């Protein structure tokens, strides 16, 4: 199967993951640390189970193992920024800004993997940045400050820059290790970072309350992390194993397109779903800015090939 198809399928599935995450945050969690804590438990469990099944492959060297762990840890660190912002902002505004990480992956790939950046790629970078700013614009507002999601925009861009490096480390690891084994290592590191940051009293009380009341939040997280997110992450690793890092990562930017479609459709069917605003002006801005982001990262992919 073509790595292009695999990467796009992973992007479509990742969009669903974001919808489920926001559902838990918007309807059930009382702190921004609750969902990351649940994800930490789930991803650590996934990693342990996967490694117990596949075992250490013959001839595996410590260096790619280390890079797989670093990739997972960096992935978890960047997701901390995302989860913090997602707790108080619309999912279809938050994720597309975070999805600008292919810009950073392309830059890292230039320095560390020897992939060239030409005029087309730099132009594409400008287009993607324009898209990230535009998606934060709120129609009808005249304040310059309101053009951005306040501090959220800066946090998302920092998280995006960190996230971009996770794909470089993942590419280095999966070039030497089997996909499933690499995924197991990454999941353990990712889960460990989430647990380290979020194992606090208030989110723990939230989780205990979910268990006592048999909250639907637990079913959402279980389905999302044990099935949907796992499939999405495996597809991305599989695509990275078959194709170049910059191209694969750029194609995952299509996640923002799928996400805007999913969230807008849900909000139109169920008014107020996920806290999304669905006025014609807002929807038009979201679609236009998402098109810029997707077009920009696609140009990066095509130009760097």
Q: What is the pTM of this model?
A: 0.81
Q: Which of 65, 29, 51, 49 is closest to 203 using CA atoms?
A: 29
Q: Which of 150, 142, 164 is closest to 84 using CA atoms?
A: 150
Burial (Cβ within 10 Å: 0-12, 13-18, ≥19) of residue 85: buried
User: 32 near 83, Cβ under 8 Å?
Assistant: yes
Eight-state DSSP code of residue 139: T
pLDDT digits (tens, 9 = 90+) for 178-210: 999 999 999 999 999 999 999 999 999 999 999
Provide DSSP, 215-239: -HHHHHHHHIIIIIHHHHHHHHHHH
How confident is the prediction for the chain on average, in pLDDT?
A: 82
Query: Of 140-144, 285-289, 292-296, 299-303, where does mean pLDDT reach its minimum?
Result: 140-144
Q: Which of 165, 219, 203, 158 is closest to 36 using CA atoms?
A: 203
pLDDT digits (tens, 9 = 90+) for 120-158: 766 776 777 677 667 655 555 444 444 445 577 788 888
Provide DSSP, 83-103: HHHHTTS-HHHHHHHHTTHHH
């Amino acid at each position: 199967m073509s790595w292009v198809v695999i990467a796009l399928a992973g992007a479509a599935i990742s969009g669903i993951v974001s919808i489920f995450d926001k559902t838990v945050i918007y309807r059930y969690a009382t702190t921004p640390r609750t969902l990351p804590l649940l994800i930490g438990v789930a991803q650590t469990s996934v990693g342990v189970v996967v490694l117990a099944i596949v075992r250490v492959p013959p001839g595996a060297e410590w260096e790619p193992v280390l890079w797989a762990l670093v990739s997972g840890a960096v992935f978890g660190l960047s997701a901390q920024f995302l989860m913090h912002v997602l707790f108080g902002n619309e999912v279809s505004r938050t994720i597309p800004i975070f999805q600008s990480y292919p810009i950073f992956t392309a830059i890292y790939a230039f320095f560390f993997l020897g992939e060239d950046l030409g005029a087309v790629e730099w132009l594409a970078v400008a287009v993607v940045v324009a898209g990230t700013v535009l998606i934060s614009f709120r129609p009808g507002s005249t304040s310059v400050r309101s053009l951005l999601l306040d501090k959220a925009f800066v946090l998302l861009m920092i998280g995006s820059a960190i996230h971009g490096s996770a794909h470089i480390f993942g590419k280095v690891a999966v070039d030497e290790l089997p996909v499933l084994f690499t995924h197991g290592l990454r999941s353990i590191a990712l889960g460990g970072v989430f647990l380290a940051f979020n194992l606090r009293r208030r989110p723990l009380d939230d989780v205990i309350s979910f268990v006592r009341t048999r909250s639907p939040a637990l079913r959402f997280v279980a389905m999302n992390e044990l099935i949907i997110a796992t499939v999405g992450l495996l597809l991305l690793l599989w695509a990275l194993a078959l194709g170049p890092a910059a191209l694969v990562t750029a194609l995952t930017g299509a996640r923002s397109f799928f996400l805007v479609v999913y969230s807008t459709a849900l909000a139109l069917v169920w008014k107020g779903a996920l806290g999304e605003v669905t006025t014609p002006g807002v929807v038009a801005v979201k679609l236009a800015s998402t098109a810029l982001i997707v077009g920009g990262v696609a140009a990066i992919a095509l130009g760097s090939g």
